[in-house]
Chains A and B, each alone.
Chain A
């Protein structure tokens, strides 16, 4: 749905075209990105608000269900804080924003490149693609070592669609609601947390 390999193909097509210098320098890429981004946010909202499945899930909310997304958020930021403290010189807000993609690589890549430039944008894209791929490959192992909710957490925002099948296979079908709810909450939070990190209240 929101993440698919075709997205990566379009990105790579852009890289090849850009690297080959096939486009005239006068192309107003900056401004075109800005209004298309607003259009994107409008449409993400439209598909979200009109999706009957999502509303059913949100209606089934109970406090205990929130434990899993909260764990994912805290764990992600904890891991990134440790990484940034000892191994990297990234601006803390850049590092946290990349983590706040929670695997939703298309949107986090686009947003962060808008807020912080191409370099952080591509890091967000790659880091969040990696999160999805590792979850797809290692969900069974993650569940065995860290418990049944760990695969959900590891998948981040993708636990509602792309990584859902592998999560259900590893954790069991009982985790359907938990996994869907977790993915929905994180998906909603991605643009909020990233904007908050760069623009404050």
Chain B
């Protein structure tokens, strides 16, 4: 699955060399969005047809909320510390 990273890197390098083409960046952006729509739709299909997931969607939702809250809490608490040491006295 490192193939994923390979494709990402190849895309980035190719994008850099093709950047001068007219509207290239915009077109690539648009296509990216369409592929994301398609993939999220397919993901929805698999989730929707998975009875195990649909039956436990409340626990899954709660777990997701908790992970988000803890991840954010960790981020903002550490931010307070690094802000104090590196950014507070600015300007």
Contacts and interface: CB of A to CB of B under 8 A. Distances in A.
A18 interface: yes
Looking at chain B, what size class is its interface with the partner chain?
35 or more
B4 A119 contact: no
A150 B79 CA distance: 5
Nearest to B35: A40
A191 B12 CA distance: 13
Contact of B41 (A13, A88, A121): A13
A109 B79 contact: no
Looking at chain A, what size class is its interface with the partner chain?
35 or more
Nearest to A132: B68
Contact of A45 (B3, B12, B71): B12
Interface of A: 1-2, 4, 6-8, 10-21, 23, 29, 32-33, 36-52, 64, 67-68, 71-72, 74-80, 82-83, 87-88, 90, 95, 98-99, 106-107, 109-111, 113-115, 118-119, 121-123, 125-128, 130-131, 134-135, 142, 145-150, 152-154, 156, 174, 191-192, 195, 198-199
